[in-house]
Structure 1
Amino acid sequence: MSSLQLGVSGIALVPQSTGYALLIGLGVAFCGVILVALQIQKAYLSEDSGTSEMFMVANRSVGTGLTASAVFSSWMWINETVFAAAMCYRFGIAVPLWWATGLCFQIALMAALGVLAKIRVPYAHTSLEIIRMRYGKIGHVVFIILNITNNVFGCASMILTGSQLVYGISGIHFAAATVLIPLGVVLYTAVGGLKATFLTDYLHTAIALLLIIYFTLEVLTNEAVGGLGGLYDKVMANASANFIEGNFEGSVLTFKSKQAIIWALILKFGNLALVVMDTAFWQKSFATEVNATVPGYNLAALAIFGVPWGLGTVFGLTARALHNTPIWPTYPSPLTQAQVNAGLVMPYTVKALIGAPGIAAFFVLLFMALTSTVSSSMIAVSSILSFDVYKTYLNPRASDKTLVHVSHLTVIFHGVFITGVALALNYGGANMTWIGYFRPILSCPGIIPLALTLLWDRQTCLAAILSPILGFFTGLAIWLGTSKALYGEISMASTGMGLPALYGATASFFSPALYSVLLSSYKPSVFDWAVFLRIELAEETQLARSSGALPASDATSAADEDDEKATQPHTEKAVAGPDISILAPNPEHSPTVQKNNAAIFASPSPPSSSLSLTHPTHPFPPATLRKLHWWHRVAWAWFGVIVLVTFVAWPLPLYRDYIFTRSFFAGWVGVAIAWQFFAFAAVVVYPVYDGWSEIAKGARGVWGAVKGWVGSRG
């Protein structure tokens, strides 16, 4: 038996047969539901996943409610549920709030970047497409590597964590769990594309939040806990047995925790990379309606706050209160550090207080958290491989049908590949704490150069290419050097400590900004934002050529021109200023983002001016551009508010010599639980209200079809 299996082994909480039935059954059920939903969309809502626009960016027609639900689901990783409880058990009550503050500001930042992308690159498909248009092939390849590495590393680590949990709970071999977890996701994602993930994200969100609220209330109201007051009294009574080194007076009920704040800062860097460097979050912003990006993303940012705060606090402290009592599953044996690191704090608490039905429900929650992560990862990597690799370098003249076919294949390929990576990590005995500390150093260097691609017209091609590479080696050197200086050696143990990881992550994140400014001062140039408009025009040209709407010679010459331009870095001097809102709209272009690009070429002979790659014009009318600029200002203002409140105004005054009193604790946890209900209203109830017309239209179509079928049978 491997050391990994020994590390997460414990009490089998459900039989293997139950575990297999839940994993397979849930995967099949979700696949069936999404296939039915896709047929309804195609038949009654005129949405066909057989086009690349629908497959990659959902025809850019997703509203506020569904956007909020999808972003929430994609960001509700297993960490926010299971590991928030484990880390609260380990470091105390400060961790869940720090975790919550480490989730929302990244989504608020993506709201600002997403709406800016709509202004400057209105018909982009992936963030890497923007990189290619500005920096050429070399920059494109560098950021492809950065994005795929970040995506694969994050997704594989989640599957790794889930397979270890499944093994620890049911005894299912982790190799079998690693294969079964992504299997159903591969099937429905390959068929449905991004809109399929939006729909399943909503189902994930609804089920997961219901279970989170159920678990929180069921545990608190259990007679062994005795409500908020009972929980506080039991934790205080066990204070001597729950001493935490580095906390004020060793208490789990103090916000002054040195280890918690170090860990929280590392988490913030890592999470920022997982959002900005993940093309899935960019694609979701591309897929939204004009007025849905900012409110949708910020609604999700507020909603996600309540998940780790409420759930992590209740379960982490309940485990501290009960882990040395006879009802605890491992009693009289203590809860080991390996079991805590494997995330077994929450399922053990569920088993102790709710029993076998609770473990079955926990299994469902685990499945929801895992598959929502995997589905968004698959679409993101599929889009990179099909659009940024295949279409760009292997088959530039690929038709829309071919591109969709390749997207399907790359979803399957990524599913197989990510399963292999997770298995390799499992058999290699990967430590999740070490992975969490290394990931920011690997993923953070590309964040600032990527953001500056949209924000700063003076970042040069050389700076964009070299600054993330130099940033990575800077962070790596500081991480290893600090490990050697503080602990006398460079080893898995020393590099897995908090301070070296924090110093390395800080350098990895901030140093590329310095490198970018310095390198951009060498042979400076000013980028013309209007160049980004060629992305949309080039795609129209390809669609027109593949559908026969353009003469072959015209289409070929236009495509050749685009291929040549797209592979060269663009550093032209801006002719009229960097703000593209001054560009006049082209009346031949679609005035709304809901319109499919292919529809622009429904006429047999589109005007040649609409295909000009030399003098591109913005597809949005002035009123839409003014609205987008307003949303852009709102997004940055809201981002600033979230950072100030969640980084400074709320947590820092609590970082003092203070142990929560009984009344303060009751209010603290009460607000956290209320936040869970707000999250349910924001990302479960509101999307139904927001999309009611489409739901009603689809329901009427299905009802009419059923009545017709019944009538024909009679």
Structure 2
Amino acid sequence: MDLSSHKYFTTLDYVIFALLLMASLSIGLYYAFTGGRQSTTREFLFADRSMKCLPLSLSLMATFQSAVAIIGTPAEVYANGTQYWFIGCAYILGLLIPAHIFIPLFYRLHLNSVYQYLELRFSKAVRICGTVTFIFQMVIYMGVGIYTPALALHSVTGFHLWGTILATGLVCTLYTALGGLKAVIWTDVFQTVVMFTGQLAVIIVGVQQAGGLSEVWIKVRDGGRISGIDLNPDPTVRHTFWTLGVGGVFLMLSLYGVNQAQVQRYLSSRTEREAVLSCYMVFPCLQVALMLSCVMGLVMYACYGDRSPLDQQYITSKDQMVLYFVMDMLQDLPGLPGLFVACLFSASLSTISSAFNSLATVTMVDLIKPHCSMTDARATLISKMLALSYGIICLAMAYVVHLMNSSVLQAALSIFGMVGGPLLGLFCLGIFFPCANSIGAVTGLAAGLIMAFWVGIGGFLDRMSSSVKVPPLNSTNTTTAVSDNITMTAATAIFEAANEKTSRALGLHGLYSLSYMWYSALNSFTVVLIGLIISLMTGPTKGNGVASGTVYPVVGKAQSLLQKLQKPSSCCRSPHENKIDGGKEMNVNVKEDTGTPEDRETFLPLNPVSYLEQETSV
């Protein structure tokens, strides 16, 4: 790699990047010293339950629009075409289902942590298992999320690696610990604007460098980067319409349906209607973010064609391609490289700050407060210290990731996706299957996690074994080289033969080759299936044993829908009607034309669960 050809940051780029960090910190300081000054857990953890749908929707989008996605999606489109774009189809069901099932259920139960639901529906043991699994998931991702963009930036701009990690981590920790969820949400809004602006600036300049829109289209079309709909049903194919459009639904549900970082935002809204609207508004935001990332990949191909910077050995990893492209295209426009790097780190800040806040919430609400009696002021102070502590853990995890090689780094990213599937299956088991009991829930979660790590790690090792290559002979020491190569060849042959024989004998080769987009679906179904079997074996939960409002009446809803289809006039019935929930009849007083979903089409009781009121005053 010719380092002399590199263009590094100018003074203006450094100024723009520093302004981003200072602006994010200023928002945190503003909310730390205004309003209620984050003096209560209600304000610190739930933004005083006063947020509107627009900032919520932008925050929901920014939470998982990480720097890994911003630098990974364009590189994927550059290398393999626009097939990945079809994941946008998964956004439809992936957001409609949470909007109409998960959000109303969680909101009407007046939860503070999504894992409180697991205790209401099953038992305290299930709640603790779910909480610990979530903490494990997010702690791993925090280190990866902050290290990956820092490493790529260090490789192509000359930024000091640990200086970048410390600056990002400390700024993010401070504004989260000082300003609470309200600061996190509003910095997400600011950072989303920066993200879109930075990506759009790079695309515009890249199109000009490539010769205009028509020239970009001709180059990507002739280069075969415009993909049609691949309807291949083979689940081992990495990206098809089915893996992205169907398998992606389960990934979206695990992120936007049951993840604490997202549910906490729903619960911070003023009304249930605002929460549902924010979920609807995430859809266009995600589509715009996906479009910008994919278009950037196409523009990159139009500029470089098949002469990839990776093939030319200007970079050492495809994750560095986007930043190399930015520094190459914008080298004569001081300030714009700094703007895009600000865009990249905006994504990183929004993701990490959301992780800090959600981890502090579940630790306080699920692990500390149920066992310790304390004042609200003391609980708020401990919550702030927890957010600060998780920030330090994030930096420690970044160091651990630094000790790993790139393949292990990819494995760590896969673990984040794999853990979300079992958690989704656990919530689906409780919400849709009234007969499930706590023994089945714990066993199902354990089975789902075992399946996740078995398939994920097994597939990773299977791919590694297939890529083992014999090193070339060392001409400086022929005798030793020949001996080493013979030994290596024999060992590799034995290992590959044994691995292939075992995999084929057990029928595991196809399972290990499963597309990563199906991991969440496979793990979710494993939890539900094993959970139901164990529940039936140990004695299913009876209708009167299910807490009111914790089960979605699938059968009742289906019957109601059929009746409406058969008798269209039935939609004009009186709003005062009896509905069945868990075998019990309850009266639901529905007001006319209030404009709030909680007063229309209610399937849960509107009275809060008294146990939750006793547990916390938030």
Query: TM-score, with normalisation over the residues of structure 2?
Result: 0.74
1:295 aligned to 2:271?
no
CA distance in 1 between counterparts of 2:342 and 2:436 reads: 47
In structure 2, relative to structure 1, the CA distance for the partners of 1:180 and 1:424 (3 Å cut) is: same
Alpha-carbon contact 2:147-2:398 (below 8 Å) kept:
yes
Structure 2: any 5+ residue segments left out of the alignment? 231-236, 467-495, 501-508, 552-578, 604-618
Kept in 2, the 8 Å contact 1:471–1:512? The answer is yes
Answering whether residue 66 of structure 2 is matched by residue 77 of structure 1, we say: yes
Match of residue 94 from structure 2: 106
Change in 2 beyond 3 A, CA 1:215/1:503: closer
Alignment of 1:533-544 (within 5 A): none
1:232 is aligned to 217
Q: Please report the RMSD computed on the Cα atoms of aligned residues, expressed in angstroms.
A: 3.8
Alignment check: 8 A CA contact 2:150 2:161 kept: yes
* Corresponding residue for residue 253 of structure 1: 226
Per the alignment, residue 388 of structure 1 pairs with: 366
Q: 1:402 to 1:99 in 2, by over 3 A?
A: same
Structure 1 residue corresponding to 2:426, chosen from 429, 432, 449: 449
Judged with a 3 Å threshold, the aligned counterparts in structure 2 of structure 1 residues 502 and 15 are, in CA distance, closer, same or farther, namely: closer
Question: Displacement of 1:623 after TM fit?
Answer: 8.6
**What is the DSSP-based 3-state SS (H/G/I as helix, E as strand, rest coil) of the residue aligned with 2:339?**
helix
What SS class does the counterpart of residue 514 from structure 2 fall into? helix
Once the 2 structures are TM-superposed, how far is the Cα of residue 532 of structure 1 from its aligned partner? 7.1
Q: How does 1:14-33 map to 2 (within 5 A)?
A: 14-15=8-9, 24-33=18-27
Distance 1:579 1:143, change over 3 A: same
Deviation at 1:510, TM superposition (A): 1.7
Deviation at 1:298, TM superposition (A): 1.1
Q: 1:447 offset after TM fit, Å?
A: 0.6
> CA distance change for structure 1 residues 517 and 331 in 2, over 3 Å: closer, same or farther?
closer
Give 3-state SS (helix, strand or coil) of 1:255's partner.
Answer: coil
Deviation string 1:499-558 (CA, Å, 9 cap, x unpaired) is 36456554323211111221222311134333879xxxxxxxxxxxxxxxxxxxxxxxxx
Matching residue of 1:669? none
Distance, in Å, in 2 between the alignment partners of 1:20 and 1:386 is: 38
Q: Establish whether residue 358 from structure 1 lines up as the match of residue 336 from structure 2.
A: yes
Count the aligned residue pairs.
Answer: 521
Q: Is the 8 A contact 2:60 2:282 kept in 1?
A: yes
Structure 1: how far apart are the matches of 2:72 and 2:100?
A: 29
The verdict on how the C-alpha distance between 1:67 and 1:332 changes in structure 2, with shifts beyond 3 A counting, is: closer
Please name the residue that 1:627 is paired with. 597
Q: Secondary structure at the match of 1:530?
A: coil
* Counterparts in 2 of 1:11 and 1:368: CA distance versus 1, 3 Å: farther
Counterpart residue number, 2:491: none
The answer for unaligned runs of 5 or more in structure 1 is 1-5, 240-250, 534-574, 586-619, 634-714
Asked if structure 2 preserves the Cα contact closer than 8 Å seen for 1:114 and 1:285, the reply is no
* 1:454 Cα deviation after fit: 3.6
Choose which of 528, 531, 534 in structure 2 pairs with 1:519: 534
Q: Which residue of 296, 303, 312 maps to 1:322? A: 303
* 1:465 counterpart letter in structure 2: V
Partner of 1:603: none
1:53 to 1:99, Cα distance in 2 relative to 1, 3 A: same
- Code of the aligned partner of 1:462: I
Q: Which residue of structure 1 aligns with residue 312 of structure 2?
A: 333
The question of whether the paired residues in 1 share the 8 Å contact of 2:243 and 2:518 is answered with no
The alignment-based identity, stated in percent, is 15
The 8 Å contact of residues 13 and 335 in structure 2, kept in 1 or not, is answered as no
Matches within 5 A, 1:363-382: 363-382=341-360
* CA contact 2:45–2:180 (8 Å) conserved in 1: yes
Matches within 5 A, 1:419-458: 419-431=395-407, 432-458=409-435
Q: 1:29 Cα shift?
A: 2.7
Any residues of structure 2 matched to 1:79-478 within 5 Å, and which? 79-95=68-84, 97-103=85-91, 105-118=93-106, 120-121=108-109, 123-220=110-207, 222=208, 224-236=209-221, 239=223, 251-255=224-228, 259-261=238-240, 264=244, 269-288=250-269, 289-309=271-291, 311-323=292-304, 333-334=312-313, 338-340=316-318, 342-349=319-326, 351-353=328-330, 355-393=333-371, 395=372, 397-431=373-407, 432-478=409-455
Distance 1:214 1:138, change over 3 A: same
Aligned pairs for 1:42-61 within 5 A? 42=35, 47-61=36-50
Letter in 2 for 1:66: P
How many Å separate the matches in 1 of 2:360 and 2:197? Answer: 31
**In structure 1, distance between residues paired with 2:180 and 2:31:** 12
What is the TM-score when the length of structure 1 is the normalising length?
Answer: 0.65
Q: Is the 8 A contact 2:63 2:351 kept in 1?
A: yes
The 8 Å contact of residues 449 and 468 in structure 1, kept in 2 or not, is answered as yes
Flag the 1:401–1:438 CA change in 2: closer, same or farther, 3 A: closer
1:543-622 to structure 2, matched below 5 A, reads 577-578=581-582, 582=586
Q: CA deviation at 1:369?
A: 0.8
Q: Deviations over 1:142-161 (max 9, x none)?
A: 10121112222333221121
Q: Which amino acid aligns with 1:470?
A: A
Is the Cα–Cα contact under 8 Å of residues 269 and 440 in structure 1 kept in the other structure?
A: no
